[in-house]
Amino acid sequence: MNIGFIIIMSGMALVTSWLAFIPLWLIGLFLNQKFNGNAKVQWRFVAISTFLVFPVPLPLTATLPVPNVVLLTFYGLGTLGDPSVIVELFSLYVSLWFYTLPSFLITGLLISKFAKSIFMKGRKMNYLVLMRHGQSQWNLENRFTGFHDIDLSDLGREEARAAGQRLKDAGIKFDQVFTSTLQRAYHTAEIALNECGQGDLFKTAIRHDDLRERDYGDLTGLNKDETRQKYGEEQVHIWRRSYDVQPPGGESLQDVVEKRVRPYYGADIKPLLDQGKNILVAAHGNSLRALLIIIGAETPETINKAEIPTGSPLVFELDHGKILKRYYLSEDKAA
């Protein structure tokens, strides 16, 4: 009777010990989701948390669930014939678990802490940095610029230098630079790279027409305030910020996304990001807004609210293409 009871109690203790590992697993899954965001790594953590904890020698795990089962069993065998064995076993079981809980939780947290280093060794987070050119002369004059090849203003050059200093302070080292064929974009890249000590990269920077600003067509060169007075505030807002409406003779943002930037990104930029390379794209407000849609940071419905300041690097920390963080390298800008 006593032996049978001991076997039953030991079996119950073993089952409850395994069930009690559910919180540890959940802690591990949560922490891996928070820090890694990788489902395969999470399930690897579940496996290793089990195999690390259960086979450890008894002296090192006196407060862990499986050794509790062993202690209960030996204690019960040593008290065969004692009518108080039920009370003793139950009391010991409860008291052991009372002292086990803090150690149990700490064990879960420690394994979670080191799970990343165990499974993520050799993996490298990479950066995609989007940088709108510094203020151009036509930005200063409040004109629609589009494809017109106007250079930076004095303030624009200062913004480019400040951007380079922020990149230097952030310690981001680039593998490849992409920019448009318009001088306000590639001059911004040149100034910023020189400022952050990576000037040699400008020699291999890739310039392409597909990264140019949106074509404003008949609006190019017009003063924005005067255009609002002529066509109305609402109409100009629709031309500038709607996703699929083209200004007279020009492109919509949808055109920029689907006809230019998406094909170019898929063929030239994304393969390097997939290899873990750090990439800088120095371009224009609308070609960068197109990229935000393409990488999944914005949608056609939310892009209207995305305003990219001149000369402020927008950083994306990536893990196998998944965006981990998004932020501007400036104290007064929020992404």
213: left (phi over 0), alpha (psi -120 to 50) or beta: beta
**Could you tell me if 172 and 201 are in contact, meaning their C-beta atoms sit under 8 angstroms apart?**
no
Give the whole-angstrom CA distance, residue 298 versus residue 292.
5
331: left (phi over 0), alpha (psi -120 to 50) or beta: alpha
298 carries an active-site annotation:
no
Give the whole-angstrom CA distance, residue 210 versus residue 41.
38
Q: What is the CA radius of gyration of the chain?
A: 31
DSSP 163-207: HHHHHHHHT---SEEEEESSHHHHHHHHHHHHHTT-GGGGGGPEE
Compute CA distances 52 → 32, 42, 116, 199, whole Å: 17, 15, 15, 49
Q: 2: helix, coil or strand?
A: helix
Contacts of 37 (CB under 8 A, 6+ apart): 319, 322, 324
Give the whole-angstrom CA distance, residue 130 versus residue 112.
33
Candidates 159, 190, 195, 213; catalytic one: 213
213 carries an active-site annotation:
yes
Candidates 133, 159, 187, 195; catalytic one: 133
Residue 208, Cβ density class (10 Å: 0-12 exposed, 13-18 middle, ≥19 buried): middle
**Could you tell me if 316 and 130 are in contact, meaning their C-beta atoms sit under 8 angstroms apart?**
yes
**Could you tell me if 247 and 238 are in contact, meaning their C-beta atoms sit under 8 angstroms apart?**
no
Would you state the structure tokens that stand for residue 108, as one six-digit string?
């879960």
Give the whole-angstrom CA distance, residue 279 versus residue 127.
6
Which of the residues are catalytic? 133, 213
